[in-house]
Chain A
Amino acid sequence: MALQIGDLAPDFELPAVRGEEKMQFKLSDHRGKNVVIAFYPMDWTPTCSTQIPTLQQNLERFAAQGTQVVAISTDSIPSHIAWQQKSIGSIGFPIASDFFPHGAVAKKYGVLREEPPVAGVSNRATFLVDKTGKLAFAKIYEIKHQPDPEEIFAVLKTL
């Protein structure tokens, strides 16, 4: 993986939705807060349908520690909205669409899968960006592995 702990997290701006509300998410707007960036492969797939609600369940704990959460996949905004409405429920943090140029932000973070069997989606990966914009945690998971939010809380304690 190209990015290392302590590196400045690459800035990005993507269209996003929070629930059904469309917005832009720009990483550098959150300087002064910690930011959890949760990359996931695809809307409508089983592991992702647990990963994102798990972050939702912990949203107040993240907020209490001055931490913003954002999820990112290569799906479109209409897909993100329908996925919440018809599958995972309304999510209270932005879900960003890294749709076009396809996976450009995933690529910046070194997590775009470019080879079969599942090409063109992001790996499941979690990054924690600290208040100064530096990476405090970075982990790529097996595609079927469920990230444990306690890993992030453990790092937040040290910041």
Chain B
Amino acid sequence: MPLKVGDIAPEFELPAVIGEDRTTFRLADHRGKKNVVLAFYPLDWTSTCTNHIPTYQSALEQLAKLDAQVAAVSVDTLPSHIAWQQKSIGMMGFPILSDAYPHGAVAEQYGLLRKGDPIPGISERAVFVIDKSGKVAFAQVYQLNDVPDIDDVIEALDTLK
């Protein structure tokens, strides 16, 4: 079952890139400081994801004003995340996390790892807003082919002001 509003968001730490810079993303580092928008997506290099992830880049200033840190997560590797930005979606100014090994461990913690068709082992497309106390303030799982509406996230963050 995917995580629900009001649940405590499970802590995790994953390798990540911001643009080409390698870093580590720890959810707990944001506790008490920032709201976190956590965007799970199925795979680099696929069409809907290529539309989904840049929506956060376009809204990055607006999200910063709402005291929110964005992080995107897929089961792809860091070299894939870097190449995907360079060759497809452009450079993102927020971390893209690699949940590659153990395969989809964080997606599994959040109840999102798909084990059947169309591609076993990918994450659902799902967006969470985690407030500064570490609680889930917004949670939605989308159809794999749907681009999540950024306004859903903005509205949720507005209520946390």
Q: How far is the CB of B119 from chain A (nearest CB, A)?
A: 7
Q: How many residues of chain B are within 8 Å of chain A by beta carbon?
A: 24
Interface 9-mer from A31-39, A58-66, A79-87, A131-139: A79-87
Question: With A43-B80, A99-B121, A120-B103 in contact, is A78–B87 under 8 Å at CB?
Answer: no
Tell me the chain A residues, 54-79 only, with Cβ under 8 Å from chain B.
Answer: 74-79
User: Across the interface, which residues of A come within 8 angstroms of B77, CB to CB?
Assistant: 42-44, 75, 121
Contact B79 A43 (CB under 8 A): yes
Q: Is B102 an interface residue (CB 8 A)?
A: yes
Count of A-B residue pairs with CB < 8 Å: 72
User: Across the interface, which residues of B come within 8 angstroms of A42, CB to CB?
Assistant: 77, 79-80
Roughly how many angstroms separate A74 CA and B101 CA in the complex, as a whole number?
10
Question: With A79-B44, A120-B101 in contact, is A102–B121 under 8 Å at CB?
Answer: yes
Q: Is B83 an interface residue (CB 8 A)?
A: yes
User: Across the interface, which residues of B come within 8 angstroms of A119, CB to CB?
Assistant: 101
Q: List 10 contacting pairs A-B, 8 Å CB cutoff, sorted by A.
A: A44-B83, A76-B75, A81-B45, A82-B84, A83-B83, A87-B87, A101-B121, A102-B100, A102-B103, A120-B103
Interface positions of B (Cβ within 8 A of A): 43-46, 75-77, 79-80, 82-84, 87-88, 100-104, 115, 119-122
